[in-house]
């Protein structure tokens, strides 16, 4: 999902794609906008994503206000709680949500399906590409 969004955004803007465990406050400070992409685990954002927010929250507090953000969640059922968690963090940072969360549901409900590698269908990856392109185009045009 993140790779699809980043690939499309590169047509309009410079893009940095980093896994949550490799990203930090300096990355947030250097970016003009953000697309947060995470799996939902046990009705919450993944531990790695939560740890990224924990490490980065206070070092950038008051320094990234007003920047645009969007989010993508990959969920086995509904993804709503993970989206709410990310939105609450973004609210604390005073970021500007530029579109509702994109939640892609894999319907993985058995232990085997939950643990299996996920394949996102092309039509849903297209939604990720559209989000990435829209974010980059909006930044380039100065609409955010």
Q: What is the CATH number of the domain that holds 27?
A: 3.40.50.360
Residue 96 structural domain: 2-139
Higher pLDDT, 83 or 11: 83
Residue 105 belongs to some domain of the structure = yes
H or E element in which residue 71 lies = strand 68-75
Residue 144 belongs to some domain of the structure = no
pLDDT digits (tens, 9 = 90+) for 62-115: 999 999 999 999 999 899 999 999 999 999 999 999 999 999 999 999 999 988
**Structurally, how many domains does the chain consist of?**
1
Q: Can you give the pLDDT at residue 103?
A: 98
Residue 47 belongs to some domain of the structure = yes
Quote the CA–CA distance of 16 and 38 in Å, as a whole number.
16
Residue 56 belongs to some domain of the structure = yes
Q: Can you give the pLDDT at residue 114?
A: 87
Q: Can you give the pLDDT at residue 36?
A: 98
Residue 105: partners with Cβ closer than 8 Å, 6 or more residues away: 75, 76, 77, 78, 79
Residue 90 belongs to some domain of the structure = yes
pTM of the model: 0.95
Average pLDDT value for the chain: 96
Residue 6 belongs to some domain of the structure = yes
Residue 38 belongs to some domain of the structure = yes
Residue 92 belongs to some domain of the structure = yes
């Amino acid at each position: 999902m993140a790779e699809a969004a980043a690939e499309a955004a590169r047509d309009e803007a410079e893009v940095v794609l980093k896994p949550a465990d490799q990203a930090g406050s300096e990355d947030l400070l250097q970016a003009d906008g953000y697309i947060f992409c995470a799996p939902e685990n046990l009705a919450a954002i993944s531990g790695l994503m939560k740890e990224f927010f924990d490490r980065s929250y206070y070092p950038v507090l008051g320094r990234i206000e007003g920047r645009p953000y969007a989010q993508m969640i990959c969920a086995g059922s509904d993804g709503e709680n993970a989206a709410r968690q990310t939105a609450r963090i973004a609210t604390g940072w005073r970021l500007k949500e530029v579109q509702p969360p994109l939640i892609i549901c894999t319907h993985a409900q058995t232990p085997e399906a939950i643990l299996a590698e996920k394949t996102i269908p092309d039509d849903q990856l297209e939604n990720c590409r559209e989000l990435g392109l829209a974010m980059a185009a909006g930044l380039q045009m100065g609409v955010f």
